[in-house]
Amino acid sequence: MTCEHQGLLFRHERHFLEVADAWLSSVLGTGGPVVLAVAGGRAEALTGLLGEAERARVRVVDRNRLYDAPGRTLAFLHRFALAHEPSPVAVLAEPVVPADPLELREWQRLESVLCTALAQTRLRLLCVHQEDALSPEARSGVLATHPVLPGPHGPHRNPRYLGTAAFRGLPSAPEPLPVRGPVHRLEIREPLPRVRRDLIALAETAGLSEEDTDRMVVSVNELAANVLEHGAGKGTLHVWRAPDRWVCDVFDEHGRLTDPLTGYRPSDGRRTRGYGLWIARQTSDLVEICGGREGSLVRLHFLDRTEAVLPLSL
């Protein structure tokens, strides 16, 4: 059994409950734990249809915790599946669909890569979306990233599914963002510990919180190591304030990143590239990858938060 990724577009609560209840009954019949992360009273309505023994096997979590950041969402799904091997696991979730085009694109990229990133797991995933709450772009993204759609006669192949091809185009530059205040610059050069020390000092000067500083240092450490070991051996960092976030640009003069999905696939111990970005996608909130002949740029976003970033426990 490999990863199964279904997508439901529903207009009425009755339709949601009918499909979700049938799906839950199916996955509960195979054994293994189930995670439920849907909006509002849908979790209560759905679990109310289950028997006591079935409810005991369903863990209800806050969908905003599950869909905290694309990299952390993928990491949770990966850990959840591995923690219960060889038993199958299942997740019924209602993804958060942001209005911001940049954030929407990164969430869509995550959805597009799930089947390949989790191919070796026994995860069954049903993503549910209230259709009339979606923009045309968001709806098209759902159809492009889910290979199977539930239907009145059972699941069926989605002819509009594109998978990783849907959002794989490499942009030459990141999305423009307004700059609020000075832009701080650092050189990436050996030794790596000096880069970390300089970044900590820069973050203190710029006014980053302790948590944002820690997350930025971990993220940059991984990317700077790639620059020094696999790239030009030198590069630059730019740290600046944008509305509702801190931004850190990591530029590699000889970088050859060509895939904006790099870092969305767990390391298997054989690849020498991508592991640093796998970590950076978890320690930052959004990652943009772009570039061309002049080099590669990875933009890290650290969104303003009222609560500390904590991984969802298994």
DSSP of 30-62: T-S-EEEE-STTHHHHHHTTS-HHHHTTEEE--
Tens digit of each residue's pLDDT (9 = 90 or more) over 177-199: 999 999 999 999 999 999 999 99
Fold (CATH) for 183-303: Heat Shock Protein 90 (3.30.565)
- CB 295, CB 255: distance < 8 Å: yes
* Buried b / exposed e along 38-71 (16+ C-beta atoms within 10 A): beeebbeebeeebeeeeeeebeebebebbbbbbb
Count CB-CB contacts under 10 A for residue 115.
Answer: 20
Q: For residue 227, with 0-12 CB atoms within 10 Å meaning exposed, 13-18 middle and 19 or more buried, which class applies?
A: buried
For the sheet containing 148-149, what is the strand order?
A: 58-60, 34-37, 89-93, 123-130, 4-10, 148-149, 156-157
Question: pLDDT per residue over 235-247, tens digit each?
Answer: 999 999 999 999 9
The model's pTM: 0.93
- Per-residue pLDDT for 271 more than 60? no
Indicate the domain borders of the chain.
4-167, 183-303
Q: Give percent of the chain above pLDDT 90.
A: 78
Q: So what's the architecture of 4-167 in CATH? A: 3-Layer(aba) Sandwich (3.40)
**Alpha-carbon gap, residue 1 to 203, rounded angstroms:** 46
Task: Evaluate if residue 115 carries a pLDDT over 90.
Answer: yes
Query: Above 50 in pLDDT, residue 11?
Result: yes
- Phi, psi for residue 293 in degrees, rounded to 5: -65, -25
d(CA 288, CA 105): 10
